[in-house]
Chains A and B, each alone.
Chain A
Amino acid sequence: AQRVTQPEKLLSVFKGAPVELKCNYSYSGSPELFWYVQYSRQRLQLLLRHISRESIKGFTADLNKGETSFHLKKPFAQEEDSAMYYCALNTDKLIFGTGTRLQVFP
C-alpha cells in the first residue's frame, strides 16, 4: 500500500533549537518525496523535494530508503518557521501525510 505517515501532530520548540519533523513512507517503487508547508492564512506551497537535494530556508531532508524515511530537519528553528508541514509521496498522484504543526516559541 502507498502511504505517508507523520507521527507527530504537533511539535513545539523554542527559537534556536533543532527541529526534526518525521515522515515515513510505504511504497514499492522508487519514491519521489516532497515537503509542503502552509503558513498561517497562506496557501500550501512546496518547500523542498528530495530529488533536488536542496536546502530551503535552512531546512533539509534526506531520503533514507533503508528506513523508508524523509525527515525534515533544521538546526536552528526561527519563529517564522511556525506552520503546518506536510510530507507527500509522488506516485501517479500526490499522497499526503496528516501533517505536523510546528510551533516555535520565542
Chain B
Amino acid sequence: NAGVMQNPRHLVRRRGQEARLRCSPMKGHSHVYWYRQLPEEGLKFMVYLQKENIIDESGMPKERFSAEFPKEGPSILRIQQVVRGDSAAYFCASSPLASGSSYNEQFFGPGTRLTVL
C-alpha cells in the first residue's frame, strides 16, 4: 500500500490563476480530509469528504475554495483566483472509518506546497 499520495508536491501560481491539488487516499479508505498549514501555524482543518459527498466543510473559506471526491479518481482541492495569502502547505489525509470514530487513525500525505507569486 503506497500510502496517501498527493500531487503536485510543489505548485507555483500567479495571482488570479487557479490551483488544483490532488489527493489519492490509501487503498480501502473512503474518508478524505484536507488541512492547510500556514507558516508558523498548525494544521487547520478545511474539509471532510466521503465518496461523492462533502460531509463537513466548516473550515473552508466561503469563496474561491472547493473540494470534491468523485466516485472514481482522486480528491481535488480547487482554489480559484489565488491570492498571496493562499500560499501554504496543503495536506490530505485519509481514514478507513468515519471522522470522530474512536480508534480512527488518519494517514497523511506528503503535502502540496503552494506558492502564489
Contacts and interface: CB of A to CB of B under 8 A. Distances in A.
Given A32-B102, A44-B91, A51-B103, A93 B45 contact: yes
Interface of A: 4, 6, 32, 36, 43-46, 49, 51, 86, 90-99
A12 to B, nearest CB: 18
Contacts of B100: 90-93
B42 A44 contact: no
Contacts of B111: 43
Contacts of A6: 42
Contact of A46 (B59, B105, B109): B105
A93 B42 contact: no
Contacts of B103: 49, 51
A49 B107 CA distance: 14
